[in-house]
Amino acid sequence: MKNIQLNTALLAMMLSLGACKKDFITIQPRGQFLSENYYANRGEAYSALVAVYDVLRKNAGGFDNMVTFFNAGSDDNFAGGGGPSDGAGIQGISNYTLNPNIVPGSFWNDHYQGIFRANTLLAKLPGIDMDAAEKSRFTAETKALRAIYYFNLVKMFKNIPLLLAPLTTAGIYDVTQAPPAEVYAQIEKDLSEAIPSLPTTLTLSKEAGRLTKAAGQAMLGKVYLYENKGALAATQLAQVNGTPGQANQYGNKLLSNFSDLWMFTNKFNTESILECYHTNQSNADWGFWGSAADEGNTVNQMVGPRSYSKTAGSPAPDIPSGWSFNVFTQEFYDIIKTDPRFGATVLDVKAYASAGQAIYIEGYQNTGYFINKFIPRRADVRTGGGALELNFQQDDYIIRLADTYLMEAEALGATGTRAQALLDAVRARVGLPSVPVTLAAIKAERRLELAGEGHRFFDLVRWGDAPAKLGSRGFVTGKNEILPIPARELTATKLVQNPNYN
Amino acid sequence: MKKILLLCLAIFTTASIMAQNQAVTGKVTDEKGVGIAKASVIVKGGKTGTSTDENGVFDLSVPSATKAVVISSQGYNVNEVTLTGAPLHITLLRAVANLDEVVVVGYGTQKKSVVTGAISSVKARDLENVPNGRIEQALQGRVAGVTILQNSGQPGSGSTIRVRGITTFNNNNPLWVVDGVVVDAGGIGYLNQSDIESIEVLKDAASAAIYGTRAATGVILVTTKKGKAGKFSVNYNGFYGVSQPAKVLDLVNATQYATLINERSVAGGGSVIYNDLSSLGKGTDWQKAIFNNSAKRYLHEVSMSGGSERSTFYLSVGIQDQQGIVATDISNYNKKNIRLNSTHKISNIFTFGQTLGYTHQESIGLGNTNSEFGGPLSSAINLDPTTPLVVTDPLVANAPPYVSNPVLRDIAGNPYGISSVVGQEMTNPLAYMKTRLGGNNWSDDIVGNAYLEAAPVRGLKIRTTVGAKKAFWGSKGFTPVFYLNPTNSVLRNNYRKEENKGFNWNVENTITYNKKLRDHDITLLIGQGTYVENIGGNVGLTIYDLPISSYKDASFRFDIPVTNRETYGTDFIEHRVTSLFSRLNYSYQDKYLFTGIVRRDGSTRFGSNNKYGVFPSFSGGWNVNKEKFWTSNKVINSLKIRGGYGVTGNDALDDFRYLATVVGGYNYPIGNSGAVTTGYSPLTLDNPDLHWEETSSADVGFDAQLFNAFNLTVNLYNKKTTGILRQVVIPGYVGVSDNPWDNVADMKNTGIEVELGYRKQLGDLNLSVNGNVSYLKNTVTYVAADTNFLTGGASFQSMGAITRIKVGNSYNGFWGYNRLGVFQNEAEIANYKNKNGTLIQPNARPGDFQWEDINGDGVISQGDQDKTFLGSNIPKYTFGLTLNMEYKGLDLTIFAQGAAGNKIFQGLRRLDVLAANFPAKALGRWTGEGSSNDYPRLTSTDPNNNFNWMSDFYLEKGDYVRLKVLQLGYTLPNQWLTKYGVSRLRFYVTGENLLTLTNYTGYDPEVGGGVFGVDKGQYPQARTIFGGLQLQF
């Protein structure tokens, strides 16, 4: 008996003494990988590529997304929301009180995260053992995505660091801002290098969402246009546009019915050139809303009327409620009221409410005019896991064909038969007659065609029209063309704040 | 010479006893009438004596000349009784300061008189008269230097404990060690209060260093009860009580509400919204709908203990149930527990012992107990009083939104009212409750240890202990199809469950050797330990579209197609620690005391460059009253001066922070099925140099006994944590999605602790008073080279962060704008100018707040420049007072505790829900010159950000004193009971939280949680009246 007890005691002692070794307190992570071992094969390279694509969601994913934020900064929409403090950032751009402390840092950070992942993958790809053709496609996609992210950064912040390789811990604080021209040159270079290796078409079942040659060319054309390189822009955009009104070389064509563009099921249609893909299958929940694992479309939720319900038997649409952001201004409403695109663009809840056909809670800056392009549909309401507010699956167009038509027409100097044909094609699609092509006509057309899609603010700045159109909101020339650099980026770094934001 | 004389005297007395004797019988009991075993009964002035039996009874033959006997027992005051010839009934009073009392110090015990560290003890007898609740509550107000705030009044919910202030930016929970088993702070609720023999709090590094890398936030040692040899007893305790809210908020009624909404709308440029005020009346009192004035609570527990010289045991079973005072249908707690502890002397050398406790807990909760985002409390506060609780008007009930939506209805079939003006997460609480019925959270905890101890030679003990905790916990719930309002609606029902299991084990081997060499007393402990925690994982399952409508019918047995099932699961990451430790206690004549401790720990949580940390401490003590120069006096009976210094660590942070890992979750949908493709990317930059946070603390103090009635302990400490682990904010352009961790920040806590006890017998009245007061000052001393603050901590809705970690201020201090008052007229706005003569608030209107221009630049900016420290949420003072009185069979206990010197953020009203209801103080808003200098004008646009900005407008003083327990008991006289075999029967009535003195206007000034003092409509603590009885055989 005594021996058994003694042995047990000794056993326990040995057991735990053996556990004293350093190995015992070193455990290998499972369910994740060590950086030094990763990027070893095609599968891992593909996963790393997906992580670069991830940042495209920024266009319409999360509370701070490009579409609603820059809509709020335009003359077409207000910030809206529940109250004057509902989203300091979006309210700040809407009334031009943004400062380095309230500008949403994610517009800066998320794009740099995409760039970091692209830089990491570009550094690793040459050493990965995989099919050469696929490797060159991966390389092209990564460079094109890096260019897209840099383009977003440079048009938002203008003065940004240009990083083409991952930083080391030691080098973090030595970074300086690059001249914008240098950034643009790199964007042109990346896209130009990418275009030859991007596929002309995709096998949608397996590849939907990835970049095509058309996307690369459209992006490069847009970049040239922003640099006022009209001829270069027109050349690239002509590749995408082909014969106005006809299918292009890749099969892209304007949809015949404008409102079909906004059906959430109508993904990757022929008019789509570069599309931000959303799904309800990430089961997005509040805990990771807007983060890398959230694939829902937040614009849908944000722009809907608050606490909306239609009355029994009324003709008002049965739609889920939202948070009443980005209501259209009365001025815009008056302009689009008679346009054939009105119904697809604006949901006139004000009219339904005054006719007793719907009830809703009026949000901040309410006009009663909501962005119908993104109003979620009842059929799109998530019934599975995750928060239903965060799992809308409508995709949003970063670039669509009507946009490239109008961009090429503009790049051509708003003159000539091709420019006229491009403008006419956009109008003809919605049943509008031809008007003589002029820059003013193109501007007017862009405003109506692309309303609520997040383009207007950048167009106004590009055209130099921002002070006139946005002055009443508080826009200050020489300051508000670009955003302030988030305060955190200036802490202990060599970065310099954008002019007039100090 | 003297010795010889004494000897002669002794022989003489013995001889005379032999000559002529008388019989003396009697019983020695404590104040409660319970017999004291092994008390010594000695003839006064003589040596003849005996000791009492297990029931306290003695029978002694004494010389006939004997006038009196002296009765003594360890831990009690000595009593002298004159012989009368009749049987004696002797009551011994517990000593005011029992210097021979044993204190648990970790891997051993020490006599209180030789302890050199700052250790506070709570014994079973201190908890006897406190209603059985969670252990944290049992400690609240009883231990100086420990701040305890309850997180919620939800039955069964925990409290936040901070030992000597805030130690780190990370996990501040103390280390709980129950009978040698480390138990995570979240799981400590399994302990049954009545099973606890003692709780020791190791407060300073000098005593806590024996727990090394996990001791920085303090160590709480819990020892459960053991049986006693030779004494068999059975105890029953039971009570039944009724709870109710102590306070409801003062909110405006429907007419007042409409008046305010109209005024606010017009001031913001809008129109009058409510035209007919007179028809509104008082409207709906939403609070009344959710509060329960007769929530029930009961407890039954039985324990048995006893043993022989060879084996002892303690066995207990208990059940308790507690209904919540808010939304009782979805607020309930139930606990069942059983415990067996035993020890066995196997031979003269070997002793075996074990403890084993099993607890099953089940609770249902509100969901949100302190949140601006919905739940019954937040809804009741924010919902407009113009919406009816239940819609009885058929015209309304047959119109949208009540038709064509799956709205919830009362028993009569009437729909619950849905507000048409207050939306978002604010929903009719009665309807909300119906959507959560049948859900629960549950846990099964099995915690135990077993040891084998060998004592082969005198003074030497070799001990091996194996401890383990196996826990299962999870939840289940049914969500029916419902429509609460346009933003809260579920169109497919679902039934879900989650199950977790976790396993911790540890092995500890110690050798203790004690040697006395004349005046020198040396005890040396060396030990080794291995700890493995967090073995386990979880799984969850949700099924949709069950062919049922009520939670009562929910089952996972339904045949649900795979497309309507969702599952998830994960593995936990193991945490391992290996340790070597040693302690040396040395005392010279019990006069000069020294303790030295060193512990070396290795942890899985640290990088290859810093796997091991070493934690030393030393402390000394001086029992001044044992010096020759000390003359016995009536003022100071004993005095011990103590001091110590030590270093402890903290490894409570996430795993693998030192590695550069590539993780998934950077996803994008690819392919037209909409399926998500997982993307992988480096998480952050690695830091192989990560090491422990180190907390060094210096402590001085003294223990004194005064006037034979007072027991005073005073401690002063200075505790400094360096290298606090935190995520270093690196520039966003680096492009990592998670910031790397580093040992960066420093923080300091200084404090004073005073514990004072008093005990006196005045005739038949026994009186004892115990009080304690602590003062604490917490200061952040360093956060980074490039900045003096970090944001984070608490936030409130669209306001964002309301606290800040800033050098020079207390941790997570409130941060925002400072008001100078309300502009009463245009002239005041025009006069508020900077030094250049320009207006500081040009856009303000009369009735707006005048903000302080903190940086003096002449503008009030929306950034950081004009925000300032507005107050600390950490109570500067905490205190407790216990008063016990006994008079014959009656006993009275009064226990009060409180805190002071802290601010509470009261954010009850949603900022983005413009039509939310108002607190009654809004009636005192600014309406014209001179009307208010505190509450601004109401306007829907709020251009001056009166409400939207964090400012001292939202802060109130958090001082309070609470009458926590008031208990009156009566113990029936012994002679009535003995013939039934009952040794004790006591009835009692208890009031819990009867009275709270505070100026705080919220539900409850005790607002715990990760960041103290943030009240968003916290579930208040209940006021309860119990009746109970205790029975002992």
SS3 per-residue string spanning A104-133: CCHHHHHHHHHHHHHHHHHHHHHHCCCCHH
Q: How far is A104 from chain B (nearest CA, A)?
A: 12
Which pLDDT score is estimated for B124? 86
Q: Which string of DSSP letters, residue by residue, matches B562-631? A: GGGEEEEEEEPPPEEEEEEEEEEEEEETTTEEEEEEEEEEEETTS-GGG-EEEEEEEEEEEEGGGSTT--
For residue A81, the chain B residues in CB contact (below 8 A) are 912
Distance CA A104, CA B309 (A): 73
Cis upstream peptide for B401 (omega within 30°): yes
pLDDT higher at A29 or A434: A434
With a cut of 60, say whether residue A12 has pLDDT above it: no
Nearest to B315 by CA among B334, B340, B284, B349: B340
Mean pLDDT: which of A51-65, B219-233, B968-982 is highest?
A: A51-65
Distance CA A437, CA A409 (A): 8
Which pLDDT score is estimated for B653? 76
pLDDT tens digits, one per residue of B530-561: 999 999 999 999 999 999 999 999 999 999 99
Distance CA B982, CA B93 (A): 23
Spatial contact of B223 and B104, defined as CB atoms under 8 Å apart = yes
- Shortest CA distance from B735: residue in chain A: A113
Which pLDDT score is estimated for B5? 44
Q: How far is A340 from chain B (nearest CA, A)?
A: 31
At residue A320, φ and ψ (nearest 5 deg) are -70, 160
Tokens of A501: 């934001």
Residue from the list A309, A310, A385 with its beta carbon closest to the beta carbon of B542: A385
pLDDT higher at B729 or B283: B283
Tally the C-alpha atoms within 13 A of residue B610's C-alpha that lie toward its C-beta. Answer: 20
Nearest to A399 by CA among A457, A453, A346: A453
Spatial contact of B210 and B585, defined as CB atoms under 8 Å apart = no
Instruction: Determine the average pLDDT of the residues in A144-151.
Output: 98
Which pLDDT score is estimated for B4? 47
Distance CA A150, CA A160 (A): 9
Q: How far is A391 from chain B (nearest CA, A)?
A: 12
Mark yes or no for CB contact B668/A8 under 8 Å: no
- Shortest CA distance from B505: residue in chain A: A16
Mean pLDDT of chain A: 92
Confidence band, pLDDT 50/70/90 cuts, at residue B13: very low
Residue of B351, B487, B739 to mutate for A, most A C-beta atoms under 10 A: B487
Which residues are CB-contacts of A125 (< 8 A; sequence separation ≥ 6)? Answer: A39, A45, A135, A138, A139, A142
Measured CA distances, B124 to B610, B887, B1001 (Å): 42, 22, 36
Question: What stretches of B809-889 adopt beta strand conformation (E)?
Answer: 813-816, 819-822, 849-851, 868-871, 877-887
pLDDT higher at A221 or A5: A221
Nearest to B141 by CA among B709, B962, B994, B1022: B962
Position B491, amino acid: L
Mean pLDDT of chain B: 89
Question: What stretches of B679-823 adopt beta strand conformation (E)?
Answer: 681-682, 693-706, 710-727, 741-762, 765-782, 789-791, 795-796, 800-801, 803-806, 813-816, 819-822
At residue A138, φ and ψ (nearest 5 deg) are -55, -45
Confidence band, pLDDT 50/70/90 cuts, at residue A1: very low
Measured CA distances, B1028 to A18, B646, B823, B985, B998 (Å): 53, 46, 58, 11, 30
pLDDT tens digits, one per residue of A173-205: 999 999 999 999 999 999 999 999 999 999 999
Which residues are CB-contacts of B960 (< 8 A; sequence separation ≥ 6)? Answer: B898, B899, B900, B996, B997, B998, B1000, B1005, B1006
DSSP 8-state class, residue A337: T
Mark yes or no for CB contact B735/A16 under 8 Å: no
Distance CA B486, CA B424 (A): 8
Distance CA B115, CA B620 (A): 9
Spatial contact of B860 and B746, defined as CB atoms under 8 Å apart = no
For residue B943, the chain A residues in CB contact (below 8 A) are 84
Nearest to A101 by CA among B801, B803, B652: B801
Helix then strand then coil, in percent of chain A rounded to 5, is 50, 5, 45
With a cut of 80, say whether residue B8 has pLDDT above it: no
Which pLDDT score is estimated for B19? 46
With a cut of 50, say whether residue B252 has pLDDT above it: yes
Q: How far is B265 from chain A (nearest CA, A)?
A: 12
Mark yes or no for CB contact B350/A13 under 8 Å: no
Instruction: Determine the average pLDDT of the residues in B115-124.
Output: 89
For residue B486, the chain A residues in CB contact (below 8 A) are 306-309, 320-321, 360
Instruction: Determine the average pLDDT of the residues in B157-176.
Output: 91
Residue from the list A52, A282, A360 with its beta carbon closest to the beta carbon of B676: A282
Chain centroid, CA B907 distance in Å: 23
Mark yes or no for CB contact B571/A31 under 8 Å: yes
Which pLDDT score is estimated for B15? 41
**Cβ within 8 Å of A, B 351-410:** 352, 399-401, 403-405
pLDDT tens digits, one per residue of A51-100: 999 999 999 999 999 999 999 999 999 999 988 888 889 999 999 999 99
Mark yes or no for CB contact A1/B346 under 8 Å: yes
With a cut of 50, say whether residue B232 has pLDDT above it: yes
Residue of A16, A58, A137 to mutate for B, most B C-beta atoms under 10 A: A16
> Percentage of residues in chain B with pLDDT exceeding 90?
61
pLDDT higher at B515 or B486: B515
Using DSSP bridges, classify how beta strands B21-29 and B57-63 pair: parallel, antiparallel or unpaired: antiparallel
- Assign A96 to helix, strand or coil: coil
For residue A382, the chain B residues in CB contact (below 8 A) are none
Instruction: State the count of interchain CB pairs (< 8 A) between A and B.
Output: 324
Tokens of B43: 């003839």
pLDDT higher at B786 or A467: A467
Lowest mean pLDDT among A31-35, B217-221, B778-782: A31-35
For residue B542, the chain A residues in CB contact (below 8 A) are 385
With a cut of 50, say whether residue B12 has pLDDT above it: no
> Percentage of residues in chain A with pLDDT exceeding 90?
81
Distance CA B1012, CA B55 (A): 49
Confidence band, pLDDT 50/70/90 cuts, at residue B97: low
pLDDT tens digits, one per residue of A284-311: 988 899 899 999 999 999 999 998 988 8
pLDDT higher at B977 or B94: B977
ipTM field? 0.93
Nearest to B26 by CA among B53, B44, B46: B53
Instruction: Determine the average pLDDT of the residues in B429-436.
Output: 94
| E strand or H helix at A346 | strand A346-348
Residue from the list B660, B675, B786 with its beta carbon closest to the beta carbon of A34: B660
Q: How far is A311 from chain B (nearest CA, A)?
A: 5
Confidence band, pLDDT 50/70/90 cuts, at residue A2: very low
Which pLDDT score is estimated for B985? 92
**Cβ within 8 Å of A, B 69-128:** none
Nearest to B355 by CA among B447, B443, B471, B465: B447
With a cut of 80, say whether residue B393 has pLDDT above it: yes
DSSP 8-state class, residue B695: E
- Shortest CA distance from B570: residue in chain A: A31
pTM for the predicted model, two decimal places: 0.82
Position B362, amino acid: E
Which pLDDT score is estimated for B605? 87
pLDDT tens digits, one per residue of B269-296: 888 999 988 889 999 999 999 999 999 9
For residue B604, the chain A residues in CB contact (below 8 A) are 25-27
